[in-house]
Structures are given as structure tokens and as C-alpha cells.
Amino acid sequence: MRTPRPVALMTIVLATAITACGGSTSEATDAGATTSQAPPTSAGTTAGQTLTHLRDGSTMTQDDSARTFAITHGDSAELRLSHDYSWTDPQVAGPGELLPVTAPEDAGYTAWELVTSGPGNLVISASGAPDCESGDCNLDNIDFTVSIAVRRP
């Protein structure tokens, strides 16, 4: 049985309106974040890309490189970079800063807390080369970059 044209058209209009207003289907992840299919945003995401919503206290690692996140201004997230690499100091471009966190001596990573200074878009970047003294010399260099859309509370 065919759907009458007005019903089909209204379904398309409604789906478009929900997407334009930021609606999406989300699922919880074990990293304390939520993923969703992102509508186009000023953070550089496009339809079909996965946008991860960082909850307060979420953690990012070098395995998250090239991902796009969103965080609510006022929430914090932690960046952890493995001691298997010798890292440049992470740089933040945009409304935020990274503050050093004292990690346990045997944690195997260096950590920073992301503190946002207002809504907008920011990028965190760092470069890592294998640390042959504490890790595996056969690892490839990493150019770590994440994009984060900072949203109003």
C-alpha cells in the first residue's frame, strides 16, 4: 500500500525540522559520552559524521585523534597522552585551555584538564614520537588533533 503524498511529504518536512533543530538519535558509550549523527554545525561536522558529546569528567586519549566532540561550557574533560610517546605540549586554539593534572606516577600517561572559557569551537593538537626508552620504538609518529564544539549550558 502506498503512503499518500501529503503524509510522505509531512514526514520528510518533520524529519528535516528535527535535524535542523539539533535533534538526533543518541546512544551512551562506556567512555561517559554520547554519540550521535551530527547535523551540519559551525564546528565543521557534516551530516553523517559522528559527534561525541563529552559529559562532565569524560576522558580523551590519543586514540581519539581526528574525532569531533561537543562539550557544554562549564563541564570539564581530561586529555591523557600515553608515555609510549614523547609529546609536544598540547596546544588549544579557541575558547579554552589545558591545565596540567597530577596523574599517579605509574599511570603511564600525562594528563591535562580541559577548561572552557565560553561557547565556540576549539581545536586541541599535539605531536608524539615513539619514546624508545619507555615504549615500543616500532610505533608510528602521531599528529593528534581533536575538534570540540563548546555549547552554552
Enumerate domains of the chain plus CATH numbers. 27-151 (2.60.40)
Flag whether pLDDT at 130 surpasses 90. yes
Flag whether pLDDT at 76 surpasses 60. yes
**What distance in Å separates the CA atoms of residue 12 and residue 26, rounded to the nearest whole number?**
20
Flag whether pLDDT at 129 surpasses 70. yes
Higher-confidence residue of 43 and 153: namely 153
142 forms beta bridges with: 128
* Average of per-residue pLDDT values in the chain: 77
32 backbone φψ class: left, alpha, beta (φ>0; ψ -120 to 50): left
Higher-confidence residue of 1 and 116: namely 116
pTM over 0.85? The answer is: no
